[in-house]
Amino acid sequence: MNDPIRIWRCDLSKQADSILDELLEETRKILLSGKYTLGSRLVNFEKEFAAYCGTRYAIGVASGTEALYLALAAHGVGEGDEVITSPFTFLGTASAIIMTGAKPVFADIDPNTFNIDPKLIESRITPRTKAIMPIHLYGQMADMEAILHIANKHGIPVVEDAAQAHGSLYRGKKAGNFDCLACYSFYPSKNLGAYGDAGAIVTDDPSLNDKIRLLRNYGQPTLYRSVINGINSRLDELQAAYLSIKLKHLDGWNTRRQEIAEVYKKKLSGSSVRVPLFANHLYSNYHVYVVRTERRDELQRHLEKRGIQTNIYYPVPLHMLKSHEFLGYKPGEFPHAEKACEEVLALPMYAEMPMEYVDEIAHEIWKFYSI
Ligand SMILES: Cc1ncc(COP(=O)(O)O)c(C=O)c1O
């Protein structure tokens, strides 16, 4: 018999509780305002998030997946095109590409970073390649310098999937500061999460900013007078207000995640799991804390029996999913991604997590390997 779960992988209720009065006050005001979309809360949040990211513009949209879709659409990606990305990521990355009518062309990951291996990108470029989409997985920025070098050489735009990278840095710069569009998700469990679905695209480019603003609202510069075909992907006033409240805390919450990660690293050093280690020019927001072990499934069961919840991001690489069979990939094509899927395990990580939990989790991991 398993213990009931005592230590959740992520407990969102604690964070909501810590800012509850502000959330309720904003909710009350917005409900009574009668204005629920494309209002002042969205305008404010867009300004604040752009300032936080260090970009000229932020465009609020309905989800991270639609942020990626709209970024690709703004670059004119469509039917018959190809977008190079990693097969070791969340489904949404590929869904957005497929939604445009393009094909996701996978390049394997660097097993040390879990991010797309820039050395493998160039051989995947064809005349149909219309974008490269690196993912900053787990909050660790992809190797942007090497990726941009290839992209610029071939004149291909880069769209960053920054869904997991709020506050992460590459040589001191956040996603969106590399002369390319960066797409964020505010799914509730993200480092900056809404209380529902939401997303944003950040950019310094005024014409892409204008185009994405049109695309997210049916292509209408004025009501009922659309000039291009767009969709409904608006970030509503309630979510925008909640995100403004939470944005003020983001750096503090990320710092707390750093402290938790440091303790994990200290307590697990010398054990049989491989802890995440980052190059000096990277700052991770520790969206998740992922260790690696060949006995992953057994370790997960051991922890579960003791009431400790873990998660696997991701159990199946995108090229081996049933839904992607039509893309024509075969098992074995991206060995590093496939192996990562067998070995990664995300330990509990959230800013409000008591440090005693880290001690207990580390203790249980040592115990597992000593049996
Ligand atoms: C790497 C990655 N890409 C895309 C998405 C899609 O974002 P959303 O769930 O907001 O649509 C997510 C988040 O869930 C993600 O983690």
The tens digit of pLDDT for each residue in 211-250 reads: 999 999 999 999 999 999 999 999 999 999 999 999 999 9
**Is 92 a pocket residue for ligand 1 (Cβ < 6 Å)?**
yes
Instruction: Give the predicted TM-score (pTM) of the model.
Output: 0.98
State whether residue 7 is helix, strand or coil.
Answer: strand
**pLDDT for position 343:** 98
Atom of ligand 1 nearest to the CA of 137: 1
Closest of 164, 140, 170 to residue 284, by C-alpha:
140
Give the pLDDT band (50/70/90) at residue 371: confident
User: What is the distance between the alpha carbons of residues 263 and 64, in angstroms, rounded to a whole number?
Assistant: 31
pLDDT level of residue 1 (50, 70, 90 thresholds): low
Whole-number Å distance between alpha carbons of 236 and 227: 23
pLDDT for residue 2: 73
DSSP state of 125: -
185 Cβ below 6 A of ligand 1: yes
Distance CA 310, CA 9 (A): 5
pLDDT tens column, 65-111:
999 999 999 999 999 999 999 999 999 999 999 999 999 999 999 99
User: Is the shortest distance between the CB of 93 and ligand 1 below 6 Å?
Assistant: yes
Helices (H), the chain: 12-18, 20-33, 40-53, 64-74, 91-100, 144-154, 206-215, 237-247, 250-268, 296-305, 335-343, 355-370
139 lines ligand 1 (CB under 6 A): no
Domain locations in the chain as residue ranges: 13-107+114-247, 250-370
So what's the pLDDT on residue 131?
98
CB 231 within 8 A of CB 214: no
Class of domain 13-107+114-247: alpha beta
Q: What span, in angstroms and rounded, lies between the C-alpha atoms of 326 and 270?
A: 44
- In angstroms, the first-to-last Cα distance of the chain is 19
Provide the token pair at 145: 């310098």
Taking domain 250-370, whether its CATH number is 3.90.1150.10 is answered by yes
> Does the structure show a pLDDT above 80 at 3?
no
Cα 144 to middle of ligand 1, angstroms: 20
Whose alpha carbon is nearest atom 7 of ligand 1? Answer: 64
CA 93 to centroid of ligand 1, rounded, Å: 7
